[in-house]
Amino acid sequence: MFGFEHYTPTEVIFGKRAEERIGELLSARGARKVLIHYGGSSALRSGLIGRVKAALEASGIRYAELGGVVPNPHLSKVREGIALGLREEIDFILAVGGGSVIDSAKAISYGLAEPEKDVWELFEHKRKAKGFLPLASILTIAAAGSETSSSCVITNEQTREKRSYDDNLSRPLFTVMNPALTMSLPDYQTESGCTDILMHTMERYFTQGGNMELTDAIAEGLLKTVMKYAEILHRDPQNYEARAEVMWAGSLSHNGLTGCGSDGGDFASHRLEHELSGMFDVAHGAGLAAIWPSWARYVYQDCLPRFVRYALNVMGVPPQESDRATALRGIEAMEDFFRRIGMPTNLRELGIAPTEEQIRQMAESCARAAGGSKGSAKVLYQEDMAEIYRMAR
């Protein structure tokens, strides 16, 4: 195992009607004027935004609001939020939504803390953040883990670049998690979220060294739990217990816990998918499901012990005639699972057909964003990335 630092300062308020405490939670942290940041009309139609505003008013907290965040959140909305926050003298941000809303709120927080600088420079890794406005969230989609993580991802819609920035400054002060708030999600969105949770864990699992038995056991238990309840939610979307298991797993999968002792993880699948959703605006989780089988087949021989362990301990594959056969059967079993929950296993099933020129563009952009190479299971360079895109067609 490698040495590690584990830092997860976010307070979690979990359970039915937890959002009713939002006024007292913000008051306790000295919030005077809050930017309520949210996505589409569903947050308004459900009455959640109305209940949040009423709770803030009852606690004497002023607020401004900014909706309209889309999946793969846009830099233009971030800039709009920064301008609004400066104009309204916002001192606290409340993200009401899923990972896209929380990521957008994080980017706005960075921008408000250093308004004289261009926030996109962070995502281009031209500088490091020196400040961050206080932030909290009410989670309505279990997927990204942004509610307790240090990361955020923003899409520059003008350049079609989807880029991430990680910094412990951005870990929310608290997050409110009521699984019942996720019950109105369409099945495709629910299962895309489950896939993202799985992939956050698997990115840390398929590494070349530094693995702890305890961390592996936590990761394997998390993976099996999410897969079990993803199938239940596919059949029974109103199942509160299943919603609760998946929601909590989303936070645990991306707060660093499942990477303790490793080399930091692989994350090539995420990097490859960012280019897909940057160019084609696909759902992130579905894009991960479409790219992972091809990535796995491309790298598994370089990380064979981990793929064998995954096949045996997670997918329940009986030992085959060779380790290579066992690993491949584990990959096939994962594809079968994706199909059972309505997720794609290739780009054709995802509904896109990149041309050879688009593949070269995505591979070049992916390699550039990664600093030339990416991966732990197998280090990938630009041509490796292009070949995985070709295999996934």
pLDDT band at 76 (very low <50, low <70, confident <90, very high): very high
pLDDT score, position 85: 98
**Digit-coded pLDDT (tens) for 219-261:** 999 999 999 999 999 999 999 999 999 999 999 999 999 999 9
> Tokens 């816990």 identify what position?
257
pLDDT band at 40 (very low <50, low <70, confident <90, very high): confident
**Digit-coded pLDDT (tens) for 198-220:** 999 999 999 998 889 999 999 99
In the predicted model, what is the mean pLDDT of residues 353-362? 98
Q: Which amino acid is at 181?
A: L
Mean pLDDT rounded to a whole number for the chain:
97
Distance CA 256, CA 204 (A): 9
**Digit-coded pLDDT (tens) for 110-126:** 999 999 999 999 999 99
**Digit-coded pLDDT (tens) for 258-304:** 999 999 899 999 999 999 999 999 999 999 999 999 999 999 999 99
Residue 326 reports pLDDT greater than 90 = yes
Residue 43 reports pLDDT greater than 90 = no
pLDDT band at 84 (very low <50, low <70, confident <90, very high): very high
pLDDT score, position 190: 97
pLDDT score, position 128: 98
pLDDT score, position 1: 83
> Is 0.75 surpassed by the pTM of this model?
yes
Alpha helices in the chain (DSSP H): 22-28, 42-45, 48-58, 75-88, 99-113, 120-123, 187-205, 213-235, 240-254, 268-280, 284-299, 304-313, 323-340, 347-350, 356-369, 382-392
DSSP result, 242-276? HHHHHHHHHHHHHSSGGGTTSSS---HHHHHHHHH
The answer to whether residues 211 and 263 touch, using CB atoms and an 8 Å cutoff, is no
In the predicted model, what is the mean pLDDT of residues 20-39? 97
pLDDT band at 18 (very low <50, low <70, confident <90, very high): very high
pLDDT band at 56 (very low <50, low <70, confident <90, very high): very high
Residue 306 reports pLDDT greater than 90 = yes
Distance CA 6, CA 261 (A): 10
pLDDT score, position 9: 95
Q: What are the structural domains, with CATH classification, of the chain?
A: 11-181 (3.40.50.1970), 186-392 (1.20.1090.10)
